[in-house]
Each structure stands twice: as C-alpha cells, then as structure tokens.
Amino acid sequence: MMQMTNPQQQQYDRGKTIFSPDGRLFQVEYAKEAVKKGATALGIVYKDGVVLAATRNTSDLGVRNPEKVFKVEDHLGIAMSGLVADGRTLVEEARNEAQKHLMTYDEDIPVFTLGKFVADRCQQFTQYGGVRPYGVSTITGGIKDGEPGVYQTDPSGTLNQWNAIAIGKGGEEAKEHLEENYEHDVDEEEAVELAVEALKEGEEDLETENIELSVVDTEDGFQRFTPEDLEEQGMGV
C-alpha cells in the first residue's frame, strides 16, 4: 500500500531549499535516486593512468546511442550515471571551464580542480529557487603532472577522491568487486579487465557491445576502447 504524506511533509518535499525538521532536503534525495536508476559507471586508478567505463543500452534502430563516458581534454574525461541530459550539460560546462583555465593560466586544468568545479556546480543547484538539483553523479578521471586521479560527485555537490569507485544501478555490486580485487600497482591491461569484470558484476547479462570504456594514460592521453578492442584483448563478456 502506498504511504501517504501529510501536508507538513509535503511542504518540505516540494521545496528543495527548505530543510525538513530532521535535516533532510528531499529533492536532493530524489535526485540521488535518479542516479541509482542510471547506468553503472566506474573509475579506476592504475599506475600510469585511469580507466573510465559505463554501461549503455544499444538498439539496432538507433543511429547514435547516448554517451556515458566523455572526453573533456586530452588529459581527462568524465563518466556519468543518472539523467543523460543533465550529465551532458555538466560536461559542456566542464569543457568550458577547462578552456578558461588553459587560457588564464597557460596550463592544463588539474583533475581535482575540474572535479571541484563540477561539485560546486551541483551544490549551487541545491540552494537556489527556480532550479532543480542535477539528477546525475559524475566520475572525473585524468592525469596532471604524471599523477592519475579519480574524483566522484553526487547531486548534493559532495566531492570524494577514490582509487576505484562505481556508481549507478549496479554500483554497489561493482564497488564490492573493486574492493575485493583492486590493487594499487595494477597496469592498464589489468585495470581494463577489472573494470569489465566489475561492470559485469553490477549488471547481469551484460554484452560487450553495451560497454563504453576509455583510458587516460601518461603517454597517449584519452583513448576510447571499442567493443572490438575489448574482444581482441580477450575481455569480452
């Protein structure tokens, strides 16, 4: 039976800038629920770079399926889970911020700086009227000065750094697999294999064609892996 809310609770339920008596922002919590229903996505730090990966639905009728892993600059990218349109908007803003940083400081934007920008943007949309929270969580990964890093944000604007993290509808299962199998000195091939295994743990009956995966390394920067690349390396599922 559906639980009914009383008028007082509905007051806090509708206003995302109003805290409930027990300190909750319901609209932010609902935005987090959108992430839990989104595609499984993950980020892994390995000794020479990072892996960003996500699952996506494919259709024989579709000309182009929505991206879940985006290139921002040659040295970093973003994986997302949640509302695709919200994620695309954040990625465009992140790209603009990266260009502004390059023009202002004549250097590539640090991974942490871009991750913090995305987190700050999400947080701003939790405290102003007339807008709603972003229904998306992001994983920003890349390399700066030879150091790989992965940072995750959620709709509240929280920013966390991880060696390996998974989000989305299969995030808990994928994260558990990462916790049990991740090692700090893994190389690129091992990290890619771990990413595919974790995605498979997160979503049953996953096909290789439904995996979107990219790496960012110190030598070649941002590189996309096609399903054929994964099959050739013996990582098909």
Query: Mean per-residue pLDDT for 95-111?
Result: 98
Provide the β-strand partners of residue 80.
Answer: 138
The pTM score is 0.89
Q: Distances in Å between the alpha carbon of 182 and those of 45, 64, 185?
A: 9, 33, 9
pLDDT the model gives residue 92:
98
Lowest average pLDDT, out of 85-89, 130-134, 192-196, goes to 130-134
pLDDT tens per residue, range 48-99:
999 999 998 765 555 556 799 999 999 999 999 999 999 999 999 999 999 9
Per the domain annotation, does 166 fall within a domain? yes
Is 153 known to be catalytic?
no
Per the domain annotation, does 27 fall within a domain? no
Cα dihedral sign, 7-8-13-14: positive
Per the domain annotation, does 104 fall within a domain? yes
Number of domains composing the chain: 1
Question: Packing angle between helix 7-14 and helix 26-36, nearest 10 degrees?
Answer: 70
Q: Which domain holds residue 148?
A: 35-232
**Angle at Cα 214 formed by Cα 209 and Cα 219, nearest 5°?**
145
Catalytic site residue from 5, 17, 40, 218: 40
Per the domain annotation, does 19 fall within a domain? no
Per the domain annotation, does 163 fall within a domain? yes
Query: Mean per-residue pLDDT for 28-44?
Result: 93
| CB distance 213 to 196 below 8 Å | yes
Per the domain annotation, does 7 fall within a domain? no
Per the domain annotation, does 174 fall within a domain? yes
Per the domain annotation, does 111 fall within a domain? yes
Lowest average pLDDT, out of 20-24, 35-39, 52-56, 131-135, goes to 20-24
Residue 154, φ and ψ in degrees, nearest 5: -130, 175
Give the CATH number, domain containing residue 77.
3.60.20.10
Q: Give the separation between CA 209 and CA 30, rounded to whole angstroms.
A: 31
pLDDT tens per residue, range 136-151:
999 999 999 999 999 9
